Chain A
């Protein structure tokens, strides 16, 4: 049976891609669905991404709910990581690695 498990870097890239596809910012719940990760796993990855400054968390006041909600925002460094990762994947595919 072939394994389709994503590597650590692929997971990180999927998370960042999900944020980028949503215009650069996304709610954590949406991110969980889009990146197809469990709550626990997503939190541990988000912690790492925050540490490495690939994303930042912003708090917004939602008038409707009269409460603040968190959004995850991709940083310039995160966008650079994504394009570098894309190039590396193309190189890997091209050379059949």
Chain B
């Protein structure tokens, strides 16, 4: 069976639960951002929604691949479904696992990249040709990194951490500009998500860091949920 890295056995399943909670938070934010887009037809809200949909897609594939890796019944069902493409005696299953991991990494990196671009000022940058070509370059690099990460998983978390570092910097500037509780919490939430990705880089040294990384990520997304709720529930 193909695995990216070893995780504590007692945490198997709990991490899927953590990701399910994160998935709900992410979908809520995507839906609200889409609602604003339908209201004012400004592209940045559609892009922001798209970024969170990418995150949701990545999380879905992560939950799916984890479920297949951890639980034999799920693996058997997946094997039955994928038998026509996995070949006789599942000889291509390794390739399918790598495909699954690619589909979990590429959307997440794409999401961080999109959030980084959107959170950056000045405005209307996505319309300019030279910046679109920059995005194309980044997309190429993200696809490349997602493939390389299949062999060296920490490249994924390292790239995530770099992009999140840039996002945190943008949100720090936003906090200095607006100086209110919401902007502070958003900055802090992304800082926690950044910390979780840094922790996950070192899972190959200490596997239990995976548990800590997942919990810190959950705390970050719950803080996003709290901020979202304090804005929309008024």
Q: What residues of chain A have their CB less than 8 Å away from a CB belonging to chain B?
A: 7, 9, 83-84, 86-88, 90-97
Contacts A88-B36, A88-B39, A90-B182; is A95 near B234 (CB within 8 Å)? no
Which stretch, B78-86, B102-110, B170-178, B206-214, touches the partner chain A?
B170-178
Give CA–CA (A88, B231) in the complex, Å.
8
The CA of A97 and the CA of B119, in the complex, are separated in Å by: 6
The residue on A at minimum CB distance from B118 is: A97
Do residues B48 and A97 form an inter-chain contact, with CB atoms below 8 A? yes
Q: Name the residue on B nearest A92 (C-beta).
A: B36
Beta-carbon contact of A95 and B40 below 8 Å: no
Among the listed B173, B180, B183, B234, which residue makes an inter-chain contact with A83, where contact means beta carbons less than 8 Å apart?
B234
Within 8 A of A (CB), among B141-170: 170
Q: Which residues of B contact A93 (CB under 8 A)?
A: 174, 178, 180, 182-183
> A91 is contacted by which of B170, B185, B232 (Cβ under 8 Å)?
B232
Q: Is A95 touching B119 in the complex (CB atoms < 8 A)?
A: yes
Contact residues in B for A91 (Cβ distance below 8 Å): 32-33, 36, 228, 231-232
The residues of A that contact B32 with a CB separation of less than 8 Å are 91
B232 touches A95 (CB 8 A): no
Given A95-B48, A97-B118, 11 new contacts (CB under 8 A): A9-B39, A9-B40, A88-B39, A91-B33, A91-B231, A95-B119, A96-B118, A96-B119, A96-B173, A96-B174, A97-B48
Taken together as a complex, chains A and B put the C-alpha atoms of A96 and B33 apart, in Å, by 13
Q: Which of A94, A96, A97 contacts B227 (CB 8 A)?
A: A94
When C-beta atoms are compared, the residue in chain B nearest to A8 turns out to be B40
Name A96's contact: one of B40, B45, B171, B231 (CB within 8 Å).
B171
List, in ascending order, chain B residues with CB within 8 A of A95's CB: 48, 119, 186
State whether the Cβ of B44 lies closer than 8 Å to any Cβ in chain A: yes
By a CB distance below 8 angstroms, the chain A residues around B185 are 94
Which residues on A sit within 8 Å (CB–CB) of B173? 96
* Min CB gap B204→A, angstroms: 33
Chain A CB within 10 A, most for which of B36, B173, B180, B186: B36
Given known contacts A93-B180, A94-B183, A97-B118, is B45 in contact with A87 (CB within 8 Å)?
A: no
Complex-state Cα separation, A84 to B35, whole angstroms = 11
- B36 near A94: Cβ-Cβ < 8 Å: no
Q: Considering only CB atoms, which chain A residue lies closest to B175 in the complex?
A: A96
Q: B231 to A94, Cβ gap below 8 A?
A: yes
Whole-angstrom CA separation of A6 from B51 in the bound complex: 27
Could you tell me if B186 and A94 are in contact, using CB atoms closer than 8 angstroms? yes
For residue A10, which residue of chain B has the nearest CB? Answer: B40
Interface CB pairs A-B, < 8 A, 29:
A7-B40, A9-B39, A9-B40, A87-B232, A88-B36, A91-B33, A91-B36, A91-B228, A91-B232, A92-B36, A93-B174, A93-B178, A93-B182, A93-B183, A94-B182, A94-B185, A94-B186, A94-B231, A95-B48, A96-B118, A96-B121, A96-B170, A96-B174, A96-B183, A96-B186, A97-B44, A97-B48, A97-B118, A97-B119
